[in-house]
Amino acid sequence: MLKASENFSFAFFIDCPYSFIMSNLSGLPEQIVLRPATPEDESFLLFAYETSRDEELQYLAWGSEKERESFFRMQFDAQNIHFKNSYELLDYDIIQKNNIPIGRLVLSWEPEHLHCVDIILLPEFRRNHLGAAIMEAIVSEADRRKITASLFYEKWKPYLGKFYERYGFKTIKEHQGHYYMERSAGGSQPNIAS
């Protein structure tokens, strides 16, 4: 197992065998396309990751630009190692609008379950219904396959819980700094007895 402090390359993550079935997701607006990430996307993916932490770290005073860059590189590499070690069937896609990268979508597929690992849209593409269109396509695919869907979101972003509730997700438990949500096929209340 690699440690985040080791010389890590995003290509190491991308070269692992993943399913890439999400790239064929139907129901997205015509101008939105998903494509598998490649090693050439690494700088964009690092930038997208940084923008996903803006709210959380907006008041942090960095000692230098190099310190900030090192922090985000370490966190990005650690996240990718976590993804690689935690999920067997993983789609790691670039979200494009009119052929321009605007975010990433990371989904883990199992025969009876879909886990939304991460969804990032660049700030200028947030709050304009693109996230809603992507979420609608995800839940439609889960319903078509008749499988449960799940996700985590940060406790300090309560607006995300309200967003996911619109698609039938229900909070099941707290886990460290996150809430875990599930959605049964069709959006009904998940089975929380297990």
Q: What percent of the chain has pLDDT over 70?
A: 83
pLDDT at 65 over 90: no
The answer as to whether 2 is a domain residue is no
The yes-or-no verdict on residue 48 having pLDDT over 90 is yes
Specify whether 16 is located in the same domain as 103. yes
Which of 82-86, 127-131, 162-166 is most confident? 162-166
pLDDT band at residue 190, thresholds of 50, 70 and 90?
very low
Number of Cβ atoms within 10 Å of the Cβ of 97 = 16
Provide the 3-class DSSP secondary structure of residue 21. Answer: coil
**Closest CA relative to residue 75, chosen from 93, 98, 56:** 56
Nearest to 46 by CA among 13, 21, 16: 13
Which structure tokens are listed for 169? 């997700």
Range of the domain at 150: 146-194
SS (HEC) of 65-81: HHHHHHHHHHHHHHHHH
* Number of folded domains that form the chain: 2
pLDDT tens-place string over residues 3-36: 333 444 555 455 544 444 445 567 777 788 899 9
Region 154-169: what's the mean pLDDT?
Answer: 90
Read off the CATH number of the domain in which 124 is found: 3.40.630
What pLDDT was estimated at residue 4? 35
Could you tell me the maximum CA-CA distance found in the chain, to the nearest angstrom? Answer: 50
Q: What is the pTM of this model?
A: 0.82
Question: What does the pLDDT read at residue 25?
Answer: 67
38 with 100, same domain: the answer is yes
Model confidence at 2, pLDDT cuts 50, 70, 90, reads: very low
- Report the chain's terminal Cα–Cα distance, integer Å: 31
For 75-85, write each residue's pLDDT tens digit: 999 999 999 88
CA–CA gap between residue 45 and residue 68 (Å, rounded): 16
- Mean residue pLDDT of the chain comes to 83
Is residue 8 within 8 Å of 80, Cβ to Cβ?
yes
Give the pLDDT score at 10.
53
Per the CB < 8 A criterion, the answer to whether 109 and 137 are in contact is no
Instruction: Compute φ and ψ for 11, nearest 5 degrees.
Output: -60, -35
What is the rounded distance in angstroms from the CA atom of residue 131 to the CA atom of residue 127? 7
| H/E run at residue 147 | none
Each residue of 97-125: pLDDT tens digit?
A: 999 999 999 999 888 899 999 999 999 99
Q: Which of 103, 132, 161 is the last residue of a domain?
A: 132
